Amino acid sequence: MSQISVSKTPPPGWPLARVGRWLQDAWRMFRRAPFRLYGLSTLPMLVEIALQLGWPGAGIVLSKLVVPLFSAWALLMAHGVLTLDRAAPGAALHALWGIRRALPGLALLSASVFAFQCGVMLLAAGPAAAMAFATADADGLAALTRPVVAVGLAAGAVPATALLFFAVTRIVLDRVPVLAAVSENLQLLQRNPRPLLGWMGANIGLLIALVYQPVFLLVILPLGLVGYAAWRDVFREGPGR
């Protein structure tokens, strides 16, 4: 996979409608290879479920460190599908090895999102609720009300947007250093808050809805392509598109 240079920072003031462009582009890309892309979007989730079932309690913490590696691999394969019409798992693994020094940083960022969620649960419902959330304790979670669980789950959308929306693709596909990618993500949020906050709000709404209607997971999984579409729009095709 080719490495590209860091592009010039786009001008400030993107309109809220820009997130609509990203959604449209993501939908067009999804329609090109729906089964392959949907399958790739489920890979990190399946790994997370396997870890949590295999190591009750510790599995959820372990998953926050391991799943980002599979997410990066899935992103590289999806990039292959969309650019070369083939997932090329071997080539994606080779590219993943090429960014091996950045992978601990990606895992740490994922863990920070989870830590933020646990902190929100601690503030919203106390230590017992936070511990149940952190360890995926079924009995402890069953004792919580749906609104409390929804708050904890949806809280993840805040750091995920502020820190990771552009950073993941920049780290994995452009090989930008982790700290530089996170700093760039924060700068883009500061200069262009409307589409990014709009996307954050949409994610919060979907995650809350997921607690009440699990079928929304079918909608949430492919939405990972929105971040890819935004990366392509801003850093591949240029801000003047």
The pLDDT tens digits of the residues spanning 17-52 come to: 999 999 999 999 999 999 999 999 999 989 888 887
Q: Give the residue with greater pLDDT, 221 vs 119.
A: 119
pLDDT in tens, 83-101: 999 999 999 999 999 999 9
- Average confidence score pLDDT of the chain: 88
Band (pLDDT 50/70/90 cuts) for residue 216 is: confident
The stretches of 85-221 forming alpha helices (DSSP H) are 89-98, 103-125, 127-135, 138-142, 146-155, 157-164, 167-174, 178-191, 193-212, 217-220
- Cβ-count burial of 54 within 10 angstroms (0-12 exposed, 13-18 middle, 19+ buried)? exposed
User: pLDDT value at position 59?
Assistant: 62
User: pLDDT value at position 6?
Assistant: 47
Which of 68-77, 156-165, 185-194, 207-216 is predicted least confidently? Answer: 207-216
In order of 42, 61, 107, 235, the CA distances from 111 in angstroms are 19, 8, 6, 26
* Helix/strand/coil for 21: helix
pLDDT exceeds cutoff 60 at 1? no
Measured CA to CA, the distance from residue 92 to residue 232 in angstroms comes to 18
Q: Give the residue with greater pLDDT, 119 vs 218.
A: 119
One-letter amino acid at 141 equals L
- Cβ-count burial of 167 within 10 angstroms (0-12 exposed, 13-18 middle, 19+ buried)? buried
User: pLDDT value at position 132?
Assistant: 86
pLDDT in tens, 10-20: 455 899 999 99
Residue 17 per-residue DSSP state: H
User: pLDDT value at position 12?
Assistant: 56
pLDDT exceeds cutoff 70 at 53? yes
Measured CA to CA, the distance from residue 167 to residue 6 in angstroms comes to 12
pLDDT exceeds cutoff 90 at 238? no
